[in-house]
């Protein structure tokens, strides 16, 4: 099973109006993504609202995703917590349920030194025998994984990759450059930079837009690896209009709203992160209608 490469979808978490988990629609989304050619599924990442789910809900979601997937794709689980102790506990839970890869966000809220971050990931890697993908998203966490720290961590056997959502293309390039002599994956977490990252030596992306346009996002990667750069660029350009809608709210709220508008009963994001302005909804509907007419899905 190929790990940490291709287009990995951070699957949204469907909810009913009372904010409980809609297991039936979650299963439907798993199959929808697989049928679109996605290369992996990431449960309760940022787009899955992992930041606002209880531990019991995470266990339920991961169980449903793994069961419905039935071994077809690698399953990633977002098990990062603020403390090392809790991250290890959640990572062991994911292993017990059958996850293939751990995606571990940096600790957040409290400022951490690079040495503290190194020791945090080292401890988790030593405690849980599963492949680990580091997750750098400093705008949300307040902590940044510097390229030199990623290079050090890449020397630990079961730390197999990093996802960068900094939006800083130079940071991605440095991750690639400093780990190029190891069997280590660099995944792009900024959908606008996927093709640029691949051309620099990246291995794929964890793409929020894959929840809305899964076939198109797969097209970026598949066309690139088949040396069809013109088509890969076309697929990359296809998401510009949708990403323009991110000005109207939290990006994962925009993504979930769009999936709902496509006719899937996924519900809203959990409060208080659930609102999209009327102006924003009109803009999303317009983009979805235009992309449907262009055959972008």
- What are the chain's domains? 6-239 (3.20.20.70)
Tens of pLDDT, residue by residue over 34-64, are: 999 999 999 999 999 999 999 999 999 999 9
Active-site pick, 118, 121, 135, 248: 135
Strands 6-10 and 204-206: parallel
Q: Is the pLDDT of residue 2 over 80?
A: no
Active-site pick, 58, 163, 178, 256: 163
* Residues 284-296, mean pLDDT to the nearest whole number: 97
163 catalytic residue (yes or no): yes
Q: pLDDT > 90: what percent of the chain?
A: 98
Q: Is the pLDDT of residue 228 over 90?
A: yes
Tens of pLDDT, residue by residue over 208-222, are: 999 999 999 999 999
Q: How far, in Å, CA of 179 to CA of 191, rounded?
A: 22
Q: What is the model's pTM?
A: 0.96
Q: How far, in Å, CA of 120 to CA of 214, rounded?
A: 34
135 catalytic residue (yes or no): yes
Mean pLDDT of the chain: 97
Alpha helices, DSSP H, located in the chain: 23-35, 55-69, 84-97, 114-127, 138-141, 147-153, 169-178, 194-199, 214-225, 229-237, 240-243, 251-261, 278-293
Q: At what angle do helices 84-97 and 114-127 cross, to 10 degrees?
A: 30
Residue 1 — very low, low, confident or very high, per pLDDT cuts 50/70/90?
Answer: low
């Amino acid at each position: 099973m190929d790990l940490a490469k291709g287009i990995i979808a951070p699957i949204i978490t469907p909810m009913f109006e009372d904010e409980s988990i809609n297991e039936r629609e979650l299963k439907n989304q798993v199959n929808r993504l697989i049928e679109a050619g996605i290369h992996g599924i990431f449960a309760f990442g940022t787009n899955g609202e992992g930041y606002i789910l209880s531990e019991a809900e995470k266990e339920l979601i991961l169980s449903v995703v793994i069961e419905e997937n039935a071994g077809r794709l690698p399953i990633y689980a977002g098990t990062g917590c603020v403390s090392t102790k809790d991250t290890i506990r959640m990572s062991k839970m994911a292993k017990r349920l059958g996850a293939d890869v751990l995606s571990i966000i940096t600790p957040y809220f409290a400022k951490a030194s690079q040495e503290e971050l190194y020791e945090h990931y080292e401890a988790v890697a030593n405690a849980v025998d599963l492949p680990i993908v580091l997750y750098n998203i400093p705008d949300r966490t307040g902590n940044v994984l510097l390229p030199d720290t990623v290079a050090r961590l890449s020397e630990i056997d079961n730390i197999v990759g990093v996802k960068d959502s900094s939006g800083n293309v130079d940071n991605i390039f440095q991750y690639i450059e400093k780990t190029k002599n190891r069997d280590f994956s660099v995944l792009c977490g900024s959908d606008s930079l996927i093709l640029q990252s691949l051309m620099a030596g990246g291995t794929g992306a964890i793409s929020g837009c894959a929840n809305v346009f899964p076939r198109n996002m797969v097209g970026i990667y598949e066309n690139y690896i088949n040396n069809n750069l013109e088509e890969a660029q076309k697929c990359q350009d296809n998401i510009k209009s949708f990403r323009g809608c991110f000005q109207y709210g939290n990006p994962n709220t925009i993504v979930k709203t769009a999936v709902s508008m496509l006719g899937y009963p996924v519900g809203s994001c959990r409060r208080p992160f659930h609102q999209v302005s009327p102006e924003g909804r009109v803009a999303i509907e317009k983009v979805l209608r235009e992309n449907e007419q262009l055959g972008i899905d």
